Amino acid sequence: MKTTTLRIFEKIKKECGTVVYGPQLLSMLFSLVFSFYTAIFMRIVIL
């Protein structure tokens, strides 16, 4: 799971460029990971 996320992140970083989109990309990735873990947590709580 972690390697896939890293690969996607590297691809995005290569396409966008680190300098321009760095902060926005980081916040986007953080929110994505946060929502992902929230979904897992909710599923565990419900089950």
Pair of tokens at residue 31: 């929110």
Distance CA 8, CA 21 (A): 15
Distance CA 12, CA 32 (A): 14
pLDDT in tens, 1-47: 567 877 877 776 676 555 555 677 778 888 889 999 998 898 888 77
Q: What is residue 9's predicted lDDT score, i.e. its pLDDT? A: 74
Q: What is residue 3's predicted lDDT score, i.e. its pLDDT? A: 77
Distance of CA 28 to the CA centre of its chain: 7
Distance CA 3, CA 11 (A): 12
Cβ-defined contacts of 25-31 (< 8 Å, 24+): none
Distance CA 34, CA 42 (A): 12
